[in-house]
Amino acid sequence: MPFPHSLRSRFAVLIALLVTLLSWLLGSLIGENSSQRIREEVGRDLAEVSLQMIDRLDRDMASRASYLQVLGSLRVLRQPRDNAEIRVLLDRLQHEIPSIAWIGLTDPQGTVLASSNGILEGASLIQRPVYLEGLKGLFIGDVHEAVLLAKLLPNPSGEAMKFVDISLPVQGPDGALAGVLASHLSWEWADEVRRSLLEPIQKRRNVEFLVLGHDHAVLLGPKAMIGQKLELPALQQSAKQDGSWAVQQWPDGQSYLTGIAASKGYGDYAGLGWIVVARQSVDEAYAPARELMHSTMLWGGGLALLFAAIGWLLTGYFTRPLRQIAHAADRLSAGEITVIPDLRSPSEIATLSQSIRHLVESLTHQQTALNLMEDKAHSDPLTGLPNRAALEKYLPHAQHHSQAHQGCLALLYLDLDGFKPVNDQFGHAAGDLLLQEVAKRLRTCLRDGDLVARLGGDEFLMILQVPQHEAQQQARQIAERTLQALAAPVVLDGQQARVGCSIGGALWPLDHADLSEALELADQALYRAKHAGRNRAEFQTHEPPAA
């Protein structure tokens, strides 16, 4: 086949070769760079979720131990007289904390006086570690099976039940030993923590979690690996860092991106030496990079042919119409209001000018649509109030504004009182109308610069900009104004309905330097308001914790 000599043909072949070569180079570079970036991103994600899970396990374990310490200080346990009263208290604690599979109080000789659901009452625990170690002080034991207790507890799954022990001595008013408060935590609690963290990351990548004991035996993970010891080089480094990741070859012969985090304990709880391991197959992690490289090369080949044809055509036409189009496009890029000229000749240039005109119009319409979609995404469809997404976007700006003006943020959690009975009596449609009316009243209680967002259901959050010297006073004024506004009756289906609200408040940074912790304090204050009779406002009153 003779080599083409025409300028058009040579120009088209040159463009095709250049684009093909560039696509191949870019595909290779992008694939390699993407693999590196994906490896680092996935590795950091795995290390981060491993840290999150081990921290969650440590915090939960420490909090359970704290609950038992508080319970052990109660008079009813320190002076055990009425076993039925103690049993009611233990049943209530188990109901509030479902992870407690069993909890009981023994006498000094190890006989169970009272327990949740009456299980093991009258039995002797004198030979059990949970009693023997509990005599010495606060004891937190590692994961184990309890055959006798497993037979007495419901077990829908039929799988072997595992527990974690927590026990402590209970001293009487005279300082003498009154008994031992012992409990078994269900190991299912750890699996619930795993699932809660796994669900969001599982949507982006297929990840597995394993929990290892201090001897590297698998406590939680794939069934086939439970009880086996996992030997990985990276496990030797886990104790030296807060979170690490590496590419490791596992016993099954496959390579995995592996994130590792070791238990550091929490507060007075020193931890049990657990290690959380998160892994993802290297082949699966690199799949997006390979797809990107293949797509780049495929598109490069198609674009090579397209640009060669365009180059072959463009060399035969006058350039003046193109300069007109280019000039109009430059003005559009500079932000000037103009239109692409409507050229009639030659026909290809006319088509090009029309296509670009339509593209500009389409992009303009798309931008308008995107703006509308963003507004909807940040608004609650029922009440029109900002939603959680808008709140997350607003909070950093509110913090910056408050810091710049040396002010504070008053955080008010609101929860409607009596909404469910109204909803049940008048129906969900009336309930929606009631929420819309509540939203209107909440808006009237705010000032310029304040925000109220609907968190979901009948829960709302107010963010108030207040000066430091009057922060508590102004926050209480707004809270009282809100209570009065929501106490007024609402007409639904010709009948009057009444709801109130409970409010929990905290001040940032006066109550806590961390905004998320300050929000938690406000949530706790709401809990107190609910339990103190409702239709009232409670504020954080403790000394602010160290930042």
User: What count of other Cβ atoms lies within 10 Å of the Cβ of residue 10?
Assistant: 15
pTM, two decimals, is 0.47
**Cα gap 409→398, rounded to integer Å:** 8
Mean pLDDT of 176-187: 87
**Cα gap 503→462, rounded to integer Å:** 10
Quote the distance between the C-alpha of residue 16 and its chain's center.
49
Q: What's the pLDDT at 280?
A: 82
pLDDT confidence of 169, banded at 50, 70, 90? Answer: very high
Mean pLDDT of 449-470: 88
285 pLDDT more than 50: yes
Judge whether 274 and 263 are in contact, CB under 8 Å: yes
DSSP 209-257: EEEE-TTSBEEES-GGGTTPBP--GGGGTGGGSSSEEEEEE-TTS-EEE
pLDDT confidence of 365, banded at 50, 70, 90? Answer: low
| Least confident segment among 190-204, 258-272, 310-324, 467-481 | 310-324
Mean pLDDT of 370-386: 68
Tokens of 386: 């900002």
368 pLDDT more than 80: no
Q: Kindly state the DSSP code that residue 358 receives in the 8-state scheme.
A: H
Q: What's the pLDDT at 390?
A: 85
Q: What's the pLDDT at 371?
A: 45
Of residues 547 and 330, the one with the higher pLDDT is 330
Q: What's the pLDDT at 545?
A: 45
**Cα gap 103→124, rounded to integer Å:** 14
Mean pLDDT of 409-416: 91
Place of tokens 């892994």: 279
Q: Kindly state the DSSP code that residue 153 receives in the 8-state scheme.
A: S
Q: What's the pLDDT at 369?
A: 47
**Cα gap 58→61, rounded to integer Å:** 5
**Cα gap 263→211, rounded to integer Å:** 10
Mean pLDDT of 508-537: 90
Domains in the chain, start-ordered, CATH in brackets? 190-283 (3.30.450.20), 317-375 (1.10.8), 388-539 (3.30.70.270)
| Least confident segment among 80-89, 309-318, 430-439, 494-503 | 309-318
Place of tokens 């609650």: 380
**Total residues found in the chain within this entry:** 547
Residue 81 is which amino acid? R
State the Cα angle at 446 between 442 and 450, rounded to 5°.
115
453 pLDDT more than 60: yes
Spell out the residues 6+ positions from residue 125 whose beta carbon is closer than 8 angstroms to its own: 106, 110, 111, 112, 131, 180, 182
DSSP 169-194: EEE-TTSSEEEEEEEEEETHHHHHHH
Quote the distance between the C-alpha of residue 145 and its chain's center.
32
**Cα gap 103→116, rounded to integer Å:** 6
**Cα gap 449→401, rounded to integer Å:** 10
User: What count of other Cβ atoms lies within 10 Å of the Cβ of residue 229?
Assistant: 12
Q: What's the pLDDT at 461?
A: 92
319 pLDDT more than 80: no
- What separation, in Å, do the N-terminal and C-terminal C-alpha atoms of the chain show? 79
65 pLDDT more than 70: yes
Q: What's the pLDDT at 546?
A: 42
Place of tokens 């699996």: 191
Q: Is 517 helix (H, G, I), strand (E, B) or coil?
A: helix
Q: What's the pLDDT at 297?
A: 66
**Cα gap 130→184, rounded to integer Å:** 9
486 pLDDT more than 80: yes
User: Which active-site residues does the annotation give?
Assistant: 458
DSSP 505-543: EEEETTT-SSHHHHHHHHHHHHHHHHHTTSSSEEE--SP
Q: Among candidates 318, 316, 317, 364, which has minimal Cα distance to 340?
A: 364
Residue 279 host element (H or E): strand 275-281
Q: What's the pLDDT at 106?
A: 92
pLDDT confidence of 544, banded at 50, 70, 90? Answer: very low
pLDDT confidence of 328, banded at 50, 70, 90? Answer: low
Place of tokens 């407690």: 100
Of residues 285 and 252, the one with the higher pLDDT is 252
